Structure 1
Amino acid sequence: MKLAWQDTDVLDMPGPGTRITTLDGLDEVPGGYGAALAWARTRAKALRAEFTATGSPDSVTTCDLVTLPYPTRFGLFRASWAITPFLAITNRMLVIRWTDSDGRQRVLLFEPSDVELGRNTPYFAALARRTPGPLQSVMVTEHGTVLGHLARLGIQPQDVDYLMFDHLHTQDLRRWIGTTSPQADLGGITEPAFPNARVIVQRHELLAMSQLHPLQQPWYQADTYQAVRPEAFLAVDGSVLLGPGIAVIATPGHVFGNQTLILNTSTGVWASSENAIAAECLTPEHSRMPGIARWARTWQQEVVLNANTIETTAEQYNSLIVEKTLVDRSQTDPRFLQFFPSSELTAAWSNPGTKPTFTHKALTH
């Protein structure tokens, strides 16, 4: 499959912001994943000190998009005793605004999922085909749309500078960044909804999408990237400071090109990704969900991963420890950390045994 950027120099384009080198070299640490874990803790502490000195964004706003079912065996990897095969997660968008050093106002949308097109992801499309219509309406709740939330916040689409996802599972970006040819399922529209926005993505993920492994295929809509505008991507290598108190750091494992948004806010440092689906997955000893604390204690696991593709599980574990080391404790309940899952575990009557002990629900600055 040939994707839009394969005959262009998009992968050689300069990225945004300032490169952060503090975490560079993690994949070259001698001694295996255990040695890399010790190295990651040390470097994350150093990064935290550097990052908090960069300032803070102007504002951070949380916008709910959709609550949907997700396999328990993936979201609470090996740890849950829940008999229900599915739990519920709520996908949310963060709207981050800041002022550059030259006085220019910037807007970043983190996780602006096109929920309508996301339904075509092979895994979720197959699940929908097996689920009766009335049951689907109970299992899936749409809370709002990306464009609807922006209108409510008074943000024009042309004022959005960056789009970013922790990874591109389920994402179909054609409506957001435009296409090079008319798309029948989009009514022939080629113009982007966000004409000035660039998609910040790890170079590794862009390269991997041209030849997906069978374990990856159920979660990507790779064919939708054949006609997107390649110039809309900003490929980055590793970690980058985007603005005051705003950075993207490489957190490989869930996918090779996974990345995490970190923010320095009025309550301290936050991290947001899908490496885990609940704050208690970073301090599982405090979880009241059946099985979680006992599993962590029995196997001496510090974290509970969200692991569906299992590309490199040990690497994902180490990445989640980096996130755990970077963030502050919750001011609401200090047993839990300011890790904000981009898709957060949500209580549902239909999913017994998966009610979270603690939820953030929103990140506001």
Structure 2
Amino acid sequence: MKLAWQDSDVLDMPTPGTRVTTFDGLAEVPGGYGAALAAARDRATDFRAEFAATGTPDSVTTCDLITLPYPTRFGLFRASRAIAPFLSITNRMLVVRWTESDGRERVLLFEPSDHELGQNTPYFAELVRRTPGLVRSLLTTEHGTVPGHLARLGIEPEDVDYLLFDHLHTQDLRRWVGTTRPQRDLGVVEPVFPRAKVIVQRHELLAMSRLHPLQRPWYQPETYRDVRPDAFLAVDGSLVLGPGVAVIETPGHVLGNQTLVLNTSTGIWASSENVIAAECLTPEHSRMPGIARWARAWGQEVVLNANTIETTAAQYNSLIVEKTLVDRSQADPRFLQFFPSSELTASWANPGTSPTFTHRAIAHV
């Protein structure tokens, strides 16, 4: 499938921030994934000290978008003994603001999902088709929309500089960045965020034109056919975007996965969808059925969120990077300041999947 940016120089556009080379080449470390795991831990330790010295952003605000069902076998990969085939996750957006050294103010939206269009993702569309409407309404709760949250915060759409997703599973960006021609389902699409650039790993952007069969249930590649090419900033690896704001390449869940890292008043946080609960980074403290026992039995120190299983060992190693970077929670030091972009949420309908601990928000002013 031919995509809009393939006829442009979008893949060669300059990228923002300062390039970070600390995590380059982890996949090529001699000795295989085990050697790469040790290297990942060492490199994250080095970067942690450097990153803490960059300062802090002006503010971080958390906005709930939607709570919806997700397969337990994916979200608590191999570890859960819950009888419920589904669990509940809450998708949230982070609004990050900082000031550049020259006084320019920046606004970044992390995970600004258009959940209405996201429901057209093949996997979720099939799930909706097989689930009676009454059951869907009981299991799904819409908390707010991206434009609605920004209006509440007093942020004008044209003030948004960057859109960032940990990966592009389920994402349909047409309303946010606009299209080059009318769409069959939406008509003429003028961008909600006319100045915003989508920061995406080059790997994932290129893969969109020729998806592997394992990837297809989770992407909507046809929605990228006509998106504005100049809306993308394709990056290779990790960047410090501003004071206390970085995006770190964390491949595995998808090849182009990336993690938002923030230095705040409570220390360093990381956010991605590599796991769906903070306790999945310290499973020995989980009270969910099977989690601690599985981790102990198999010597695993993390529990993955794995659906496409693109490179499971690489995802494990990326989680060790995240685990090493962050601080412990001030609310409960058994758990880390890892904020799942889709966080496990207790539900009466999903016995055995109630989290031991939840963050619910990152708040920094």
What residue number does 1:193 align with? Answer: 192
1:46 and 2:39 aligned:
no
Q: Secondary structure at the match of 2:15?
A: coil
Q: Deviations over 1:72-98 (max 9, x none)?
A: 000000000001100000000000000
What residue number does 2:328 align with? Answer: 329
Superposed counterparts of 1:274-293, under 5 Å? 274-293=273-292
CA distance in 2 between counterparts of 1:227 and 1:163 reads 18
1:203 and 2:206 aligned:
no
What residue number does 1:308 align with? Answer: 307
Which has the higher mean CA deviation after the structures are superposed, 6-15 or 124-133? 6-15
What residue number does 1:22 align with? Answer: 22
1:84 and 2:84 aligned:
yes
Superposed counterparts of 1:121-136, under 5 Å? 121-136=121-136
What residue number does 2:171 align with? Answer: 171
Matched AA of 1:337: L
What residue number does 1:297 align with? Answer: 296
CA distance in 1 between counterparts of 2:158 and 2:117 reads 21
CA distance in 2 between counterparts of 1:3 and 1:350 reads 41
Matched AA of 2:82: A
Q: Deviations over 1:271-327 (max 9, x none)?
A: 000000000000000000000000000000000000000000000000000000000
What residue number does 2:145 align with? Answer: 145
Matched AA of 1:296: A
Taking structure 1 as the reference length, the TM-score comes to 0.99
CA distance in 2 between counterparts of 1:225 and 1:146 reads 20
Coordinate RMSD, CA, aligned: 0.5
CA distance in 1 between counterparts of 2:76 and 2:9 reads 40
User: What percent identity do the matched residue pairs reach?
Assistant: 82
1:70 and 2:65 aligned:
no
- 1:12 is displaced (CA, Å) by 1.1
Matched AA of 2:144: G
Provide runs of 4+ in structure 1 moved above 6 Å: none
Taking structure 2 as the reference length, the TM-score comes to 0.99
CA distance in 2 between counterparts of 1:19 and 1:287 reads 37
CA distance in 1 between counterparts of 2:4 and 2:154 reads 32
Matched AA of 1:280: E
Matched AA of 1:331: Q
- 1:27 is displaced (CA, Å) by 1.5
- 1:189 is displaced (CA, Å) by 2.4
1:34 and 2:34 aligned:
yes
What residue number does 1:232 align with? Answer: 231
CA distance in 1 between counterparts of 2:125 and 2:48 reads 40
- 1:190 is displaced (CA, Å) by 2.3
- 1:6 is displaced (CA, Å) by 1.1
Matched AA of 1:239: S
What residue number does 2:353 align with? Answer: 354
Question: Which runs of 5 or more structure 1 residues have no equivalent in the other structure?
Answer: none
- What is the number of residues matched between the two proteins? 364
CA distance in 2 between counterparts of 1:4 and 1:164 reads 19
- 1:24 is displaced (CA, Å) by 1.2
1:160 and 2:168 aligned:
no
